[in-house]
Amino acid sequence: MDTEHEILETIEMIEEYRLDIRTVTMGINLLDCADPDPQTACERIYERIVSSARRLVPVAEGIEAELGIPIINKRISVTPISLVAGASRTEDYTCFAAALDRAAHEVGVDFLGGFSALAQKSRSAADRHLMDSLPQALATTDVVCSSVNIGSTKAGINMSAVGRMGELIREIADRTGGMGCAKLVVFCNAVGDNPFMAGAFHGVEEGDVCINVGVSGPGVVKRALDKVPDASFGGMAETIKKAAFKVTRMGQLVGTMAAERLGVPFGIVDLSLAPTAAIGDSVAEILETMGVGTVGGHGTTVALALLNDAVKKGGLMACSHVGGLSGSFIPVSEDAGMIDAVTSGVLGLDKLEAMTAICSVGLDMIAIPGDTPATTIAAMIADEAAIGMMNNKTTAVRVIPVPGAAVGDDIDFGGLLGHAPVMAVHRSDAGPLISRGGRLPAPVHSFRS
């Protein structure tokens, strides 16, 4: 029997400090759904998803009720569609996105990720078709999320694909009023077991079906740090590790239960601290509790480095398999403290980029002026990819050029995506750099400095 204190602590974490399971994500392999006839392939994809995930939402809701912990999203990730659709005799992959959307609605999940291409070294015809289909696919589907991997530590950076993604992000923004860009991530070093959106896909190294879990809990970490206002850096690290351990144990328990009840293997727990725009559920507020005046000021990077590392150390022992992105997310629109820091002028894109060098994942959910040139967006992607490539870590860009919006305008994305002030980008012209194209060579793996 647990002690009364521990029972009340758990309840307090859930009810007062927003401890929740951010997502239970089912990964589904679609490789054998490929067919020369796109219609047949789409039917197979729909059937595979519906038959694999039919019980996902009711099982997750049952666990939610039984344990008394919210599971905010139920999601699906699938094999990168360019690998499946490449066999079909069509250049327009919108029909595949439509099939994914229908299947997601049929089983009642919140998001489905995997309308994706792996183009880190070079692009196949299928990768090009998928990328060219993105504006139409994202404009005509509700819950389908997309990602394109444009670089890796092993392969370097596919700068031609980077340049194209800059153009596509502008085009998607113009077609969807910006919202489509919230469903698109450009990665370097993408991982195949990430349960978080918009970048989730089911990697080719995975089995047929698995369950991955993403936890949340910035509020729990902040609350723990509130109790030790005079702790040294070592003391803060210990405090964060203990809180992260408890948060992660919830992920392990929910993942194990879900996998067992669905009769599929349990994959990983992603240790990321995922904030929401609600007060008290903010990574920025943790950093400010640690003593950073306002996030974005000097000291932010070191505080974030400690937080990110301690979360991993605490979480690693709490679960059997760790994977995904595992770190601290710093999405601007999904974090009340980040929004305030941007609004007050302390946090800018340059500091955010520095922060991404030591945490997961990258420039995330950032609204920028709608007239930002495609080459500037491409250069932002390339800079982030360079950080990921050189540091052997995952980085990503999810920026939203908002048509007609100017710096300082507040844009509401709705739901978990929150709202964000439009941020200023540097106006210097990166066009000549981006137009060079080709592939940036992979870095040397010794002589690291």
Q: What's the DSSP call for residue 394?
A: -
**Closer of 66 and 205 to other proteins (Cβ):** 66
358: left (phi over 0), alpha (psi -120 to 50) or beta: alpha
CB of 411 to other proteins, least distance (A): 37
Is residue 271 involved in binding other proteins (CB under 8 A)?
no
- Indicate which single residue of 128, 242, 249, 351 sits in contact with other proteins (rule: CB under 8 A): 249
CB of 308 to other proteins, least distance (A): 22
CB 356 within 8 A of CB 362: yes
CB of 395 to other proteins, least distance (A): 32
Q: What's the DSSP call for residue 441?
A: P
Q: How far apart are CA 298 and CA 29, in angstroms?
A: 45
Q: Exposure of 1 by Cβ count < 10 A (0-12 exposed, 13-18 middle, 19+ buried)?
A: exposed
Q: How far apart are CA 259 and CA 325, in angstroms?
A: 20
- Indicate which single residue of 53, 56, 69, 85 sits in contact with other proteins (rule: CB under 8 A): 69
- Which has the closest alpha carbon to 359: 332, 397, 393, 333? 393
Q: What is the dihedral of CA 283, 256, 393, 145, to 10 degrees?
A: -80
Q: Cis link prior to 198 (omega < 30° from 0)?
A: yes
**Closer of 192 and 217 to other proteins (Cβ):** 217
- Indicate which single residue of 29, 73, 252, 394 sits in contact with other proteins (rule: CB under 8 A): 252
- Indicate which single residue of 7, 125, 279, 433 sits in contact with other proteins (rule: CB under 8 A): 7
Which residues inside 361-400 make contact with other proteins, applying CB under 8 A?
none
- Indicate which single residue of 49, 67, 161, 314 sits in contact with other proteins (rule: CB under 8 A): 67
Q: Which stretch binds other proteins (CB under 8 A): 2-10, 72-80, 185-193, 305-313?
A: 2-10
- Indicate which single residue of 250, 322, 361, 367 sits in contact with other proteins (rule: CB under 8 A): 250
- Which has the closest alpha carbon to 305: 359, 384, 360? 359
Q: How many residues bind other proteins (CB under 8 A)?
A: 21
CB 21 within 8 A of CB 213: yes
Is residue 11 involved in binding other proteins (CB under 8 A)?
yes
Is residue 244 involved in binding other proteins (CB under 8 A)?
no
CB of 248 to other proteins, least distance (A): 10
- Indicate which single residue of 253, 295, 367, 416 sits in contact with other proteins (rule: CB under 8 A): 253
Beta-bridged to residue 419, according to DSSP, are 412
**Closer of 11 and 204 to other proteins (Cβ):** 11
392: left (phi over 0), alpha (psi -120 to 50) or beta: left
* 412 CB-near residues (< 8 Å, 6+ apart): 419
Q: Which stretch binds other proteins (CB under 8 A): 91-99, 110-118, 192-200, 243-251?
A: 243-251
Build a one-symbol-per-residue string for 43-62: x at contacts with other proteins by CB under 8 A, - elsewhere. Answer: -------------------x
Q: How far apart are CA 439 and CA 385, in angstroms?
A: 12
- Indicate which single residue of 68, 207, 299, 415 sits in contact with other proteins (rule: CB under 8 A): 68
Instruction: Count CB atoms within 10 A of the CB of residue 438.
Output: 11
Residues of this chain that bind other proteins (CB under 8 A): 1-4, 6-8, 10-11, 62, 65-69, 246, 249-250, 252-253, 257
